[in-house]
Structure 1
């Protein structure tokens, strides 16, 4: 990574209109949040794509979307439900192809329960990976074909290595690791997981995408950076040891605070 990385942000198209000057002033990576709902993916989303293309005229950063995730588990053992999950992933990739987007966020299947219980079952961990392969097989092939990366984001993951093992099991350039700093900090504070910078180190150069949000170690806050207790210097020092140039995406609950988060990192001398 460069000594002073340029951070991007996740937002809806409405907020892209608000922050368009900010997002175009530097090659900031962008993640669109308008395509996570089933109603959108089942409907006519082409007008949203056309609106995005108009707003992105002049954008120099990398572009991606947050994929569908509500009610979805890519390791669901029910084959009928797994088929719907696979369908949603393919629908998200159709949007990526139409946009020219090169990443889509997919949520990790690993829960806190899994961490404490999978080893109590014969081939418990292997079965999770096998179910993920069955659900994601077509999506991985489609992602390879269109040059898009499926980045697997930690949600409840207590062991940061689980997602790395899962991503590597596909043996595909289209499957990589994502890190959400607030999710990792929640897991650290509430379930005894390692600190956020250890999640970076565990992923290594498999890490291709990061959601930057601040939190208190108790809940998934998505606060503006600097409002919580994440040690940002340690996180960016760990990121600086990578050569994979992950997309650094600010992901906040209050999207009006994106400029404040960028300013906070700049004041710390960590990013711009």
Structure 2
């Protein structure tokens, strides 16, 4: 059985140093230049053109990390939801121009919400109503474009919360994303299960994974092997599902991307 092929989350500035690595196999790529409001509110088309030129010959799947700073898709404030809908639409504009087929969005679940689950029964319907109002247009547009919105765990303590939310939303253009460092933080600091449980919970709905190492205390985005995540368990869980998620090395120091890939390759886990 062939090993899963690793990809990476990079900016345009990082592409030259990783060009050969990206072309040695059909490696998936996530561009992260489009998360900032000042980029989306100005002319980003030259960035897309630079990306297309730099990626000539790239055979992997391509996508972006969508905007996320300062808001949630579950805001109870309709004025805030209007802003969020606009940001999501801007992200999809970029995907369309780039030819991207995935966009990362963030989970709305929080540690606070987990600890107050059931305390205010009306919040369940209010929460779902807010998310549906925020995401419906983006789901429809993404579906028509052939783009998958991958919902990434952030503070999620229960690995099934996003699954049930997306199920309630009808799964149109939606898949699950697991960020290993976020899951490890939730495990180490909030009592959530280990990282591999998040993979198992996503199952065949897993469309995307952010691979980063961490210490279970904070969102480190360390080079693989520099933290305490048990990588054999993560890849064993991946091997038990039929989904073929994009495996994206998302590191703070991009110089660690290729060494991380070689580390996992040496363990016989990926290539």
Instruction: Pick the TM interval, shorter chain.
Output: over 0.9
**How many residues are paired up?**
271
Match of 1:39 in 2: 38
Match of 2:16 in 1: 17
Match of 1:167 in 2: 166
2: CA distance, partners of 1:266 / 1:18: 20
3-state SS, counterpart of residue 243 of structure 2:
coil
Q: How does 1:143-158 map to 2 (within 5 A)?
A: 143-158=142-157
Match of 1:254 in 2: 253
1:232 Cα deviation (Å)? 0.4
3-state SS, counterpart of residue 105 of structure 2:
strand
Q: Residue 68 of structure 1 contacts residue 92 of structure 1 at CA under 8 Å; is this kept in 2?
A: yes
Match of 2:86 in 1: 87
Question: Unmatched 5+ residue regions in structure 1?
Answer: none
Q: Residue 31 of structure 1 contacts residue 66 of structure 1 at CA under 8 Å; is this kept in 2?
A: yes
Q: How does 1:38-117 map to 2 (within 5 A)?
A: 38-117=37-116
> Which has the larger displacement, 117-126 or 94-103?
117-126
The alignment's C-alpha RMSD in Å is 0.9
1:122 Cα deviation (Å)? 1.5
Question: Unmatched 5+ residue regions in structure 2?
Answer: none
3-state SS, counterpart of residue 60 of structure 1:
coil
1:24 Cα deviation (Å)? 1.1
Q: Residue 8 of structure 1 contacts residue 247 of structure 1 at CA under 8 Å; is this kept in 2?
A: yes
Q: Residue 140 of structure 2 contacts residue 172 of structure 2 at CA under 8 Å; is this kept in 1?
A: no
| Runs of 4+ that moved beyond 6 A | none
Match of 1:4 in 2: 3
Q: Deviations over 1:125-182 (max 9, x none)?
A: 3322221110111111110110000000000000010011111222234011000000
1:48 Cα deviation (Å)? 0.4
Q: Residue 3 of structure 1 contacts residue 240 of structure 1 at CA under 8 Å; is this kept in 2?
A: no
Using the size of structure 2 for normalisation, the TM-score is: 0.98
1:25 Cα deviation (Å)? 1.1
> Which has the larger displacement, 125-134 or 218-227?
125-134
1:86 Cα deviation (Å)? 0.7
1:73 Cα deviation (Å)? 0.3
